Structure 1
């Protein structure tokens, strides 16, 4: 029997100044060691193809090398003199010992390819410059298109055209004697992504696409960021191309494989490794822009975990990272088909009522088990049903509207809002109780299936954008199943509403920076259309409003995360006033582009919560309108705050253990139910049953890419 192929993915942090490297291995968690690799002295790893590492000089991109880390063989290419100060993405068509091997460089400023044929029989290698503008224009029909993210798959070279038309292009490379002819051929379109995970208002700059080939597999990866700063990842897509049907299939479980991405303004690199022997697979690791953090995306549950690299890396200020895949035992006889068969085992499966394992622990009459279940609610009921077939029969599926169950749930859920997670892939809605960590599941109503986004949450209701055939704005109460459809309105950025939509006083407000109108108002009970208002910003660009909050008939909103403005006397009439309450932000320790701001009402006061990029600083401010300043406060008293991207809720705590805390939509890494909270008393992060806390930042916590929000359970 041939030896099993085992690999360990190793991450290399390069420090060009000290000529040292720090190597992380995935076989032992957090294991690392410092080494000195002479071949990397003054050079940066720019890619890895067919077991060969591509090296370039750091400053000029003039000198290029091919290095085999197993044999230590180094191939020096002739100097390349770029026409401009170009940055390049590289690709190697086949191993250098192949007589038809060609090394290619793709410019990011001009539609050109510089390539060098690696013919070892020739005494001197040379570069050839080629423009592909005309060929690509004939395929896409557009000017100013560029090829990017070159890769190899099944002995062929592919690149991506990501501009007006999103296409994978095949580079047909033919070697004839001393000549190399390269023709561009359309291969396949890039897969489309659901709107709920990649909002339509996200600009082109908020997304980074890549393609990556490995043996006979071709992958497409799309990383979606919260904004153009690309600090926070909001979602990641991973697709694999079926070479038979030429259809993309989304991968929901990487099993023992991993990807490693480094995304900068100048270049993007992608590494892939499979058959890891340490149980550390299943992740897409994305290096942070600072080079000192890693965001690890897990497709299986669509979560992102933030990790801080060791102090040794931070002290050495590592310039660049790469991932090498060194095989310990290589089975050359292993067929490509075996790899394909292994991938085919990935299935999209969910089963809440697992009755395959029969239990003999509850050998009692069904009517006795039914009496027991009459006293259970929520999570206990679900767990009991999943034990065995007898338990499932004794505890049939019930609707939350059942009077007995409804009464128990109402009393049980009064303590705290729940974290609500919408899984559009499996059409399920999950509720997580932050106090005891219990989970509750319901099916997504048929009317809401498809693409959707959560706009905001309050009073037990969600305001949602639904994108099935056309855009719809609806109120949805997940506890009663009630849906209230609102009149058509264009896609808006931020919303708020003043009361439950069943109340005659409910008003909805929405803000946008697009189009001639910027403020939309709708009275749910008395109007059939939206009232539109144009705000006069003078010569300035339209303002962006975040976390608008109703206070009676007034709307307070953060403007560009700097000023606080109020829209007073919002009524059915067109009269209202628009004033700047404070023309500057608070004096916070975590001021910066990546700082997150959340505003909410606390009784009659307006509060502002600021959170640093990694949660290293959390501060609360209260608005003092008389002196037009934000005053920092060190305690919430008996109140508690729940924050997320779509909700910021301040309530009076039901018990002393809950007060003076800020609850985050994050889970402790390795735990599926422990919600993370911040204590203003200890200035540390905790879970509800953890008194000492686990840290002063949000590292080692994970957040969900599925649409989610905090919601107050309401059965009315």
Structure 2
């Protein structure tokens, strides 16, 4: 676009209009994407800095006027300074209102977020926008992602949607890792948490967003959110959040963007944004059902425990042959074996199952509905368990960690439970008085003498570590706070603590180690090993993990978007990290908070680190892993499917 070249900088987009500023002359104008028409505005002498967050909205009494300015009010909000600029074509200068973050509807109202998250409704049809009313404050953030969020307000048929994106913290190249959605109907002043946006589609890019009310009519996939990431070398990441199965796809749009360039915006035709019908954006009802094993590839379904009529053909098979069959089936398929005939009912209890040693990727189909599904990376099969993990509370459930068939789940503000999805057992723990923590884990199985849940919170590395423990029959959590003095602060990584030599080890973002002793209820930061990274650098965008393998402590540092990982072993004789380039005897399974280590039963499984994503081709799923030897992802990192809420699950009947 010639009109957008040279010193022109795009400050925002509203539908088919761009707000442009000439950085050399301070001239400001609206530019229509299709006709290239310009509408001149007052000079903008003090524009937002490139690093600031800002948003654009055009407001008028009718959508027809917005399509054909100049009869409209231009609203430019700046988040950091908490003020809003406004003008109309023909004005001599910009006015200012002390609110920030704007979006609009088609009747001249502009919804903005003021101090302390209060949503203010402005009537922008007046020369100076007037405050019409104050609505409810923004909904609270998910405690799982306290640090880095970005929220947007959108309007659809009178309802206001608050879409909050959660970004992987630390570093400019942040990636989208989660989302939550709240809706405030026109007739209410309270927010409701929802799992879907109905037949709509949302496009987010730069500091602006667009909502298409009827995605199917626009030949788009409904119930999806499309997010443009920050430009990086070679292109720009495009995240597609599919709310139907609560997964994220990331593609790299290449050839158009350079690192450090301007942000990208969506250009959505106005005909797509016009409301054609009011869709129901309510959440799917939560219910608890019995266990169902559904092979998604075959589309078949069978109730666990239903017995198919036995035949002499199956019941008369020799025992040796049956044992060979059992050793070749997957763990999930082994659950179907008792349904074949009466003679097979006790087969899995007396025969070891070879493929049961492979962890399964356990996912939830929706944040608040909690329908569980699994993916086996070895057999490439997906199964819908048909189990709902929900207490009926609209707060999101988060899968935290898994051991010996048990899964630790947190829900809402401080609610913790233990679940065995294959046995249908749920154990509710006392609620915690804090909903933010760095990591949480457990040892042994519920009911066993040494069962214990451990939770640590570093309060963002400010010199205070809070640890909580819970054991069998405890009425409440045991809490201790430890202040520690170190030369530099110790912000912990986002992984769960690991048990090593009777104590729980936490990895700092810089590579140092912190240790919690559950018997003495003490916390300390080790003087060695020395840091591997500068913890204060915001350019670091790595995830850090700890895992124990063969009585050795292994640290893993990952970088998103396909860049090479780094692995280290703790040399305990020198208390120093030693970089590893070979892991041929182990296969690792990594999610966002945990790493599981298993022996490499085949030569080709060594040096593999399976991640929590998979690729799909013609309906067939392929697990994604990182090759330590080749230093690359297989398949490539971009274009894969990553479930939002998932962990590696260790089945155990």
The answer to whether the aligner puts 1:56 opposite 2:7 as a matched pair is no
Give the Å deviation of 1:665.
0.6
Equivalent position of 2:400 in the other structure: 455
Residues 621-646 of structure 1, C-alpha deviations (whole Å, 9 max, x = no match): 21112123222222223211111122
Residues 581, 709 of structure 1: alpha-carbon distance in 2 compared, 3 angstrom cutoff: same
Residues 409, 147 of structure 1: alpha-carbon distance in 2 compared, 3 angstrom cutoff: farther
Give the Å deviation of 1:349.
8.4
Inter-partner Cα distance in structure 2 for 1:463 and 1:601: 20
Q: Is the 8 A contact 1:257 1:276 kept in 2?
A: no
Q: Within 5 Å, give how 1:597-676 maps onto structure 2.
A: 597-668=544-615, 673-676=621-624
Q: Is the 8 A contact 1:257 1:275 kept in 2?
A: no
Inter-partner Cα distance in structure 2 for 1:84 and 1:679: 44
Q: Within 5 Å, give how 1:61-80 maps onto structure 2.
A: 62-80=26-44
Equivalent position of 1:473 in the other structure: 416
Q: Bigger shift: 508-517 or 230-239?
A: 508-517
Equivalent position of 1:121 in the other structure: none
Residues 234, 516 of structure 1: alpha-carbon distance in 2 compared, 3 angstrom cutoff: same
Inter-partner Cα distance in structure 1 for 2:389 and 2:29: 57
Inter-partner Cα distance in structure 1 for 2:483 and 2:259: 50
Inter-partner Cα distance in structure 1 for 2:260 and 2:352: 54
Residues 76-97 of structure 1, C-alpha deviations (whole Å, 9 max, x = no match): 2232334997965332223375
Q: Bigger shift: 551-560 or 207-216?
A: 207-216
Q: Which runs of 5+ in 1 are unaligned?
A: 1-35, 119-123, 134-145, 263-267, 360-365, 385-393, 687-693
2:252 counterpart (290, 303, 308): 308
Residues 453-497 of structure 1, C-alpha deviations (whole Å, 9 max, x = no match): 333333332233344xx7343333323334445555443321333
Q: Within 5 Å, give how 1:151-162 maps onto structure 2.
A: 151-162=103-114
Inter-partner Cα distance in structure 2 for 1:675 and 1:300: 21
Equivalent position of 1:222 in the other structure: 164
Inter-partner Cα distance in structure 1 for 2:332 and 2:130: 60
1:106 counterpart (77, 100, 121): 77
TM-score (norm 1): 0.71
The answer to whether the aligner puts 1:710 opposite 2:648 as a matched pair is yes
The answer to whether the aligner puts 1:512 opposite 2:457 as a matched pair is yes
Inter-partner Cα distance in structure 2 for 1:436 and 1:233: 29
Question: What SS class does the counterpart of residue 582 from structure 1 fall into?
Answer: coil
Inter-partner Cα distance in structure 1 for 2:481 and 2:87: 60
Question: What SS class does the counterpart of residue 455 from structure 2 fall into?
Answer: strand
Equivalent position of 2:302 in the other structure: none
Residues 347, 548 of structure 1: alpha-carbon distance in 2 compared, 3 angstrom cutoff: closer
Residues 101, 254 of structure 1: alpha-carbon distance in 2 compared, 3 angstrom cutoff: same
1:170 counterpart (103, 121, 128): 121
Q: Bigger shift: 249-258 or 296-305?
A: 249-258
Inter-partner Cα distance in structure 1 for 2:47 and 2:628: 57
Q: Is the 8 A contact 1:661 1:679 kept in 2?
A: yes
Inter-partner Cα distance in structure 1 for 2:430 and 2:613: 34
Equivalent position of 2:320 in the other structure: none
Equivalent position of 2:100 in the other structure: 147
Question: What SS class does the counterpart of residue 143 from structure 2 fall into?
Answer: coil
Inter-partner Cα distance in structure 1 for 2:523 and 2:44: 65
Give the Å deviation of 1:573.
5.0
Q: Is the 8 A contact 2:452 2:470 kept in 1?
A: yes
Q: Within 5 Å, give how 1:528-539 maps onto structure 2.
A: 530=478, 532-537=480-485
Residues 446, 210 of structure 1: alpha-carbon distance in 2 compared, 3 angstrom cutoff: closer
TM-score (norm 2): 0.77
Question: What SS class does the counterpart of residue 378 from structure 2 fall into?
Answer: coil
Equivalent position of 2:237 in the other structure: 293
Inter-partner Cα distance in structure 2 for 1:110 and 1:533: 36
Aligned length: 599
Q: Is the 8 A contact 2:59 2:108 kept in 1?
A: yes
Equivalent position of 2:210 in the other structure: 271
Residues 405, 219 of structure 1: alpha-carbon distance in 2 compared, 3 angstrom cutoff: farther
Inter-partner Cα distance in structure 2 for 1:367 and 1:548: 43
Give the Å deviation of 1:603.
1.2
Residues 173, 431 of structure 1: alpha-carbon distance in 2 compared, 3 angstrom cutoff: closer
Question: What SS class does the counterpart of residue 111 from structure 2 fall into?
Answer: strand
Q: Is the 8 A contact 1:202 1:227 kept in 2?
A: no
Inter-partner Cα distance in structure 2 for 1:448 and 1:539: 47
Q: Is the 8 A contact 1:591 1:612 kept in 2?
A: no
Give the Å deviation of 1:200.
5.9
Residues 329-380 of structure 1, C-alpha deviations (whole Å, 9 max, x = no match): x79xxx967x115x349984899799xxxx9xxxxxx997665999998766
Q: Bigger shift: 240-249 or 597-606?
A: 240-249
The answer to whether the aligner puts 1:500 opposite 2:464 as a matched pair is no
Give the Å deviation of 1:323.
2.2
Give the Å deviation of 1:601.
0.5
Inter-partner Cα distance in structure 2 for 1:317 and 1:540: 30
Question: What SS class does the counterpart of residue 277 from structure 2 fall into?
Answer: helix
Question: What SS class does the counterpart of residue 407 from structure 1 fall into?
Answer: helix
Give the Å deviation of 1:607.
0.9
Residues 496, 174 of structure 1: alpha-carbon distance in 2 compared, 3 angstrom cutoff: closer
2:277 counterpart (326, 334, 340): 340
Q: Is the 8 A contact 2:238 2:253 kept in 1?
A: yes
Give the Å deviation of 1:408.
8.7
Give the Å deviation of 1:65.
0.9
Residues 674, 50 of structure 1: alpha-carbon distance in 2 compared, 3 angstrom cutoff: closer
1:207 counterpart (139, 144, 149): 149
Equivalent position of 2:323 in the other structure: none
Equivalent position of 1:138 in the other structure: none
1:407 counterpart (349, 352, 357): 349
1:680 counterpart (628, 636, 649): 628
Inter-partner Cα distance in structure 1 for 2:588 and 2:196: 33
Residues 112, 395 of structure 1: alpha-carbon distance in 2 compared, 3 angstrom cutoff: same
Inter-partner Cα distance in structure 1 for 2:154 and 2:8: 23
Give the Å deviation of 1:448.
8.5
Q: Is the 8 A contact 2:84 2:100 kept in 1?
A: no
Give the Å deviation of 1:99.
7.5
Inter-partner Cα distance in structure 2 for 1:520 and 1:301: 34
Question: What SS class does the counterpart of residue 256 from structure 2 fall into?
Answer: helix
Q: Bigger shift: 627-636 or 506-515?
A: 506-515
